[in-house]
Structure 1
Amino acid sequence: MALIDIPLLMKDAARGKRSAVTCALKCANQCAAGPCNHSDNPTFRDIASSALTRRAVLGGTGGALAIALGGTQGALADPGNGNGKGQGIGNGKGNGKGGSRVPAPNGTKLLFEAIAPVDFEVDEFTVPEGYAWHPVIRWGDPLFDDAPDFDWNAQSAEAQKRQFGYNNDYTEIQEIPGSNGKRAVMFVNHEYTNENIMLPPETDEGELIEIGMAAHGLTVVELERKNTNFPYSYVQGAELNRRILLDTEFELTGPAAGSDLVTTVEDPEGTTVLGTFGNCSGGLTPWGTLLSGEENFHGYFRTPGTSDAEKRYGLADKATARNWESKHDRFDSRNEGYENEPNRFGYIVEVDPFDPTSTPRKHTALGRFKHEGANVILAEDGHVVAYTGDDEVFDYLYKFVSHGTYVEGDKAHNMTLLTSGDLYVAKFSGNSPAAEIDGSGAVPADGSFDGTGEWLPLLVDGESTVPGFSAEEVLVHTRLAADAVGPTKMDRCEDVEPSLATRRVYVACTNNSGRGTAGKASADEANPRAENRDGHIVEIDEQGDQTSTTFAWNLLMVCGDPAQGDTTDFSGFPVEQVSPISCPDNLAFDAVGNLWISTDGAPSGIGYNDGLFRVTLDGDSHGRVEQFLSVPRDGETCGPIIRDEDRSAFVSVQHPGEDGAWGAQLSYFPDYDEVGPKPSVVQVLLERGRGNSKG
């Protein structure tokens, strides 16, 4: 019998195979339950077209942080066959054979020939020829000197608290000052757990709950390497190593802290929250702290499910998959004194990885919803601007602008900047006739899905701009407040990344199978495909002024596999010369401004394993997509970090072998030990005749 009872779920009828288990455990099967947004916001085609077009507004770049993009554009090439699999099981040697690599855009040193897509049933980590992959850290690896080694058959909650957590997602690596590039500190989220493939079925139910809880949270861990030619390995017992768990105290900051909406019997002041979970993506601040988004928190609570706020967030009166509420009263808000406990989750979390004694914080000023993450850029006048997406079908894109301004070198001051500011939600307008946006994804006559938009205010100068909502209500019931002002319903805004090279902002819209179906919002120019299986990328230009309340936009790409007959667009780049890509999720940039995309859900779209892709953003190759790696069966590609100066990249591999079961595993990544899969952080490195990873 399964450790967690997962009911039979409807499978996606699209090609390929995406795990129904992932849907149940990661987001409490929210898509099958239907969208939470039942507001009557106008659809895109009901909004009058603007005279401003992409050709008039998207032409400029600039800003204090802009950098020159040097180098020439590489020759175009079809994707290669990518057989450099580099098993990297602890010895760092790999088996990539090396070979010619197509010159890359903007002079990047990370040269490779694109790999061919890998079928969704293949349990391999695939990289280009000449590269090998090396596990940096795995689920269960001991972090502290007193931590036990991982044992598949003898796992305990106390051991897990001292070990690397499960399902690593957002990942960031920063060099430790003075280490000459040999030491770094890494921050990692642990989004959720799948006890059915983690633990033997005879595990005691009470212990199973505690182990699962201990496998959530966050990790800070030090890394070391001999030099840039060698892969990183983690350092057990290092000074900065830290696990942030469900009993770790967080400070609640901002206007909603201390309000009656967030107090509980255990925290009558409403300022101290225990733990974080459902953490998805995140971002690095200019002052060196890390931001993490609390996403699918609704799946951890049982609630009355009767209020508009509860319904809007997917909270319901039903037993949760993990049954934490059976052991801990705070996970059942029907219990007296815990009515507000769900209101204490769904925020952006900030952690200082360089101070293991610091108290992490939850920032109410950025609003409460299912944050994918948050990414920060400094406006020209020094204000901090954070972009964040609400990762659910038909929900919204948000922007926060700090009241205070950044002060170089004053970390204590800068760590206050996310506690107070103005909050906005995005409304998009298109410039094509409604008849040309027919839901097929076909590009309109003007050659692009594009238009203008505005940031609608929700909170300005500490005051609510939404009739009927107080400032505290705007920040705790942000979805309801946003509904009232009429923003654009999007196709799952996941990662939102501003480019420091151009100051343009890129939004990964992963998919939305309900778009254009009965009773749901129809296709519009910002979300132009009905039953959007493969997703798209939005490009936003605020003309170098990140504090602006208006913007221009266009779609960088409409994803899919042209070879399978999908209607796609890659900014006009020849579709026969791109790697097929589906379900964009996390975004990153390399040192010279190329965009990198990791995917989540490609098996259900184009039928290939998820991967990591590079996209050229300028010149004759604008819109060119090249696949760099593919993760193993059932796995999701998360937390990409691109270090092209080191000819290296990192990804977090989440939920490999998700559809398996104890004794019937479908993946054995990364150790291939015939026991089971371990979510892991992986480094891909150009082989130079060396390599001695500690794995």
Structure 2
Amino acid sequence: MGAVTIPKEYRVPESAPQRRLLPLLGQVGGGRSRATCHYRCGDACFHPAPNTSGNAYFGDIFQKALSRRAALRTGAVTAGAGALGLSALSPAMADRGPNRPHPAPRLTFRNVLPNNDDALTVPRGYEQHVIVRWGDPVLPGAPEFDIDNLTAEAQAQQFGYNCDYVGFHLLDDDHGLLWVNHEYTNERIMFAGYTGGADADPEQIRVTMAAHGGSLVEIERVGRSGQWKLSEGERAFNRRIHTSTPFVLSGPAAGHDLLKTEADPTGTEVLGMLNNCSGGMTPWGTFLSAEENFNQYFGNAPGTAETNRYGLGTGASSRRWDRVEERFDLSKHPNEANRFGYVVEIDPLDPESAPVKRTMLGRFKHEAANTILAADDRVVVYLGDDERFDYMYKFVSDGQYVEGSRRHNMTLLDSGTLYVAKLSGNSPAEEIDGSGALPSDGEFDGTGEWIALCNATESFVDGFSVAEVLVYTRLAADAAGATKMDRPEDFEPSPVTGKVYCALTNNSAREPGQADEPNPRGPNRYGHILEIVEDGEDNAATTFGWNVPLVCGDPENDDTYYAGFDKSKVMPISAPDNLAFDKHGNLWISTDGQPGSLDTADALHVMPVEGRFRGELKTFATVPHRAEACGPFITEDNKTVFIAPQHPGDDGTFESPTSTWPDGDFPRPSVACIWHKAGRDVGQ
């Protein structure tokens, strides 16, 4: 495609100097660079999709639901039907329904224009500051970073490599705890002359193992502004979690034979977490961290239906971690991989506590885990499996959240019901042709049901025990007939309306004949957003309505849709990944793969999802060359945006870097904050 379309009011006059865009190097179908695909997900898109189930695509199981749709339009939807369960994370939830606040004021910041600059670019009137970088000391006594002399011992005490999810726990008005996932490493950038595989220096492998996991750092506010920096105080909460950190396995699958190994005959303890992508926070103040592409770290899988469904290769792994820790060789330790692919709960207020892998939330390539409270105060967790043609899930706890009872609340994720989504649409199947053209009723929408897979004591899938559902969740969902989606990544409930949003990043493998109403393009190169409205004003409901408010891409193209908003006044977007909300109920969308699909840097966008400006998408920030816009997190006071540009210059090498962000020498994945100079709410 050609250059992206920029709204008229933001176009640069033809007489103005034109910025030269950098050439693209090694991009692949989904938009990521070839290096990112290799190091982050083990070249997942270069292999057949693991889901070979016979589950029908939506178009094959079309169910007309006009009566349901009419009810939605005349009832809950038009009245703000997103007024669902209460959120313990936002007081605004108490004002939902007829008395909830009016839609947010219009976003007034000036768009950041598409570019390929090697910088974190923010709107006019805003400032940005890098808080913490790869290699910065985290633990007391940690050595200063030395790019020429990396050691595993030092890295285990320093801020890890690529940073994805960012969570923030406010301690008081001026101090907080910043949690960051370290998803994966790019050894070609980290080490001079890196060869990899069987020839890699064992100490280099150990360094990369220590660079995975997560970091918890104490930060403090600068003056009364929205700027934050690393705390200069005692920093008693600071912590590094990596592949040698002891973890606890909890929930119904803990202790099952599928989780037992020679090193852990109890099946209840495991070292480390792998490829943690996004995450979420609980109402009781803990962080949830999601293990995603864990399969690439293991080699020599037996090639069974179970290991194939999770993308575990039968040959040696590309990272060859088995050369320093035998547990990554599945021919010798076949159950070790079953101990990864979970949601991890981390208590930021107890540095000595062991992180807990919650098996009740299922095992798959978790992108994120975000919570909201149901009408009866049970905890609901929304979960996406980031793989082509995989599924959307949710968990509903048995117990109720009790404010102030932290010990009780930290048991809630071990007992409940795990569901997978099955969607149906409201348009004739022949009107969904894969082109992205809207059906005759003017929108992609429909209904859905949450199919129960198991609870803590009973499986609802024939042929599966409870433990088997939780360890082989993908296969159980296949058997349940779930709907194949276009890489469901982050889920985020709105703190204002309770509606739930899912980022569907892309799916270049979907053929035109496989398109369906919830996934209306084939192939889907640019991705889209799904909006879910749970029935009965209750996030614990087992049925829901849904629509697609955003079909991404160049707004000048016919196959894009911005909730009906004038497309001459919106910005281009591709590959939606992480989601967040501000206190006004605006949806913030970060991207992963925009450079390869729209020829522009990945970015952080904002879009109202309520009111007359619903669909008016604007670009708030762009990230450095080949970086991905991770995070984001908007503070409760709406004064700060935390953003984590990860893998800057991922198409370069140690000897020939293609990015020098943030310090002008070599690329260092980092976390930054953005705030308005005049102290305004971000976005306003």
TM-score by length of 2: 0.90
- Going from structure 1 to structure 2, the CA distance change for 1:566 and 1:164 (only over 3 Å counts) comes to farther
* Alignment check: 8 A CA contact 2:85 2:538 kept: no
Give 1:12's aligned residue. Answer: 28
* Deviation digits for residues 385-426 of structure 1 (CA, Å, limit 9, x no counterpart): 000000000000001010111111000000000011101100
Give 2:65's aligned residue. Answer: 50
Give 1:265's match in structure 2, choosing from 247, 251, 262.
Answer: 262
Q: Given the alignment of the two structures, is residue 660 of structure 1 paired with residue 657 of structure 2, yes or no?
A: no
Letter in 1 for 2:104: N
Give 1:528's match in structure 2, choosing from 514, 520, 523.
Answer: 520
Give 1:614's match in structure 2, choosing from 606, 610, 613.
Answer: 606
Give 2:83's aligned residue. Answer: 62
* Deviation digits for residues 522-560 of structure 1 (CA, Å, limit 9, x no counterpart): 000000000100000000001321111100000011000
- Going from structure 1 to structure 2, the CA distance change for 1:71 and 1:649 (only over 3 Å counts) comes to farther
Q: Given the alignment of the two structures, is residue 472 of structure 1 paired with residue 488 of structure 2, yes or no?
A: no
Q: Given the alignment of the two structures, is residue 560 of structure 1 paired with residue 550 of structure 2, yes or no?
A: no
Give 2:104's aligned residue. Answer: 106
* Alignment check: 8 A CA contact 1:67 1:502 kept: no
1:11 shift after superposition: 4.8
* Deviation digits for residues 420-454 of structure 1 (CA, Å, limit 9, x no counterpart): 11011000000101111010001111111000000
Letter in 1 for 2:176: A
Task: Work out the CA distance in 2 between the residues paired with 1:404 and 1:644.
Answer: 27
Q: Given the alignment of the two structures, is residue 687 of structure 1 paired with residue 682 of structure 2, yes or no?
A: no
- Going from structure 1 to structure 2, the CA distance change for 1:426 and 1:13 (only over 3 Å counts) comes to closer
Give 2:339's match in structure 1, choosing from 344, 349, 352.
Answer: 344
1:378 shift after superposition: 0.6
Task: Work out the CA distance in 1 between the residues paired with 2:95 and 2:203.
Answer: 55
Give 1:409's aligned residue. Answer: 404
Q: Given the alignment of the two structures, is residue 392 of structure 1 paired with residue 360 of structure 2, yes or no?
A: no
Give 2:538's match in structure 1, choosing from 539, 545, 551.
Answer: 545
* Alignment check: 8 A CA contact 2:188 2:194 kept: no
Letter in 2 for 1:62: A
Letter in 2 for 1:524: D
- Going from structure 1 to structure 2, the CA distance change for 1:317 and 1:610 (only over 3 Å counts) comes to same
1:505 shift after superposition: 0.5
Give 1:155's aligned residue. Answer: 150
Structure 2, unaligned stretches of length 5 or more?
Answer: 1-24, 87-92, 680-684
Give 2:581's aligned residue. Answer: 589
Task: Work out the CA distance in 1 between the residues paired with 2:280 and 2:290.
Answer: 9
* Deviation digits for residues 217-237 of structure 1 (CA, Å, limit 9, x no counterpart): 111110012333152111365
1:58 shift after superposition: 2.9
Q: How does 1:205-220 map to 2 (within 5 A)?
A: 205-220=201-216
* Deviation digits for residues 37-74 of structure 1 (CA, Å, limit 9, x no counterpart): 0001011012222231152553324345335489999x
* Alignment check: 8 A CA contact 1:459 1:471 kept: yes
Task: Work out the CA distance in 1 between the residues paired with 2:82 and 2:548.
Answer: 17
Q: How does 1:84-483 map to 2 (within 5 A)?
A: 106-107=104-105, 111-119=108-116, 122-176=117-171, 179=172, 181-201=173-193, 205-229=201-225, 231-235=227-231, 238-335=235-332, 338-460=333-455, 462-483=457-478
* Alignment check: 8 A CA contact 1:67 1:500 kept: no
- Going from structure 1 to structure 2, the CA distance change for 1:218 and 1:644 (only over 3 Å counts) comes to closer
Letter in 2 for 1:41: N
* Deviation digits for residues 119-138 of structure 1 (CA, Å, limit 9, x no counterpart): 3xx21211111112100100
Task: Work out the CA distance in 2 between the residues paired with 1:465 and 1:147.
Answer: 50
Letter in 2 for 1:211: V
* Alignment check: 8 A CA contact 2:226 2:640 kept: no
Task: Work out the CA distance in 2 between the residues paired with 1:647 and 1:494.
Answer: 26
* Alignment check: 8 A CA contact 2:239 2:351 kept: yes
* Alignment check: 8 A CA contact 1:143 1:235 kept: no
Task: Work out the CA distance in 2 between the residues paired with 1:132 and 1:644.
Answer: 19
Task: Work out the CA distance in 2 between the residues paired with 1:147 and 1:415.
Answer: 31
Give 1:41's aligned residue. Answer: 55
Give 1:83's aligned residue. Answer: none
Letter in 2 for 1:539: E
* Alignment check: 8 A CA contact 2:301 2:334 kept: no
Task: Work out the CA distance in 1 between the residues paired with 2:120 and 2:508.
Answer: 28
- Going from structure 1 to structure 2, the CA distance change for 1:13 and 1:452 (only over 3 Å counts) comes to closer
Task: Work out the CA distance in 2 between the residues paired with 1:501 and 1:489.
Answer: 29
* Alignment check: 8 A CA contact 1:58 1:552 kept: no
* Alignment check: 8 A CA contact 1:453 1:552 kept: yes
* Deviation digits for residues 637-681 of structure 1 (CA, Å, limit 9, x no counterpart): 111012374532110111000000112100011111x3x100000
* Alignment check: 8 A CA contact 1:50 1:451 kept: yes
Task: Work out the CA distance in 1 between the residues paired with 2:101 and 2:568.
Answer: 22
Paired positions, count: 635
SS of 2:595's equivalent in the other structure is helix
Task: Work out the CA distance in 1 between the residues paired with 2:26 and 2:111.
Answer: 35
* Alignment check: 8 A CA contact 2:455 2:466 kept: no
* Deviation digits for residues 355-374 of structure 1 (CA, Å, limit 9, x no counterpart): 10111100110100000011
* Alignment check: 8 A CA contact 2:449 2:544 kept: yes
* Deviation digits for residues 591-648 of structure 1 (CA, Å, limit 9, x no counterpart): 1111110010111211111111111111111111010000011000111012374532
Give 1:641's match in structure 2, choosing from 608, 633, 640.
Answer: 633
Task: Work out the CA distance in 1 between the residues paired with 2:380 and 2:465.
Answer: 23
* Alignment check: 8 A CA contact 1:72 1:107 kept: no
Q: Is the deviation greater in 54-63 or in 570-579?
A: 54-63
Task: Work out the CA distance in 2 between the residues paired with 1:313 and 1:391.
Answer: 11
SS of 1:502's equivalent in the other structure is coil
Task: Work out the CA distance in 2 between the residues paired with 1:621 and 1:111.
Answer: 12
SS of 1:408's equivalent in the other structure is coil
Give 1:86's aligned residue. Answer: none
Task: Work out the CA distance in 1 between the residues paired with 2:29 and 2:389.
Answer: 21
Task: Work out the CA distance in 2 between the residues paired with 1:449 and 1:547.
Answer: 24
SS of 1:530's equivalent in the other structure is coil
SS of 1:621's equivalent in the other structure is coil
Letter in 1 for 2:313: A
SS of 2:38's equivalent in the other structure is helix
Give 1:91's aligned residue. Answer: none
Letter in 2 for 1:635: A
Task: Work out the CA distance in 2 between the residues paired with 1:160 and 1:646.
Answer: 34
TM-score by length of 1: 0.88
Task: Work out the CA distance in 1 between the residues paired with 2:551 and 2:472.
Answer: 32
1:107 shift after superposition: 3.7
Q: Given the alignment of the two structures, is residue 513 of structure 1 paired with residue 508 of structure 2, yes or no?
A: yes
* Alignment check: 8 A CA contact 1:258 1:270 kept: yes
* Deviation digits for residues 190-220 of structure 1 (CA, Å, limit 9, x no counterpart): 0000011112227971110010001001111
Q: How does 1:620-635 map to 2 (within 5 A)?
A: 620-635=612-627
Runs of 4+ in 1 over 6 A off after TM superposition: 69-73
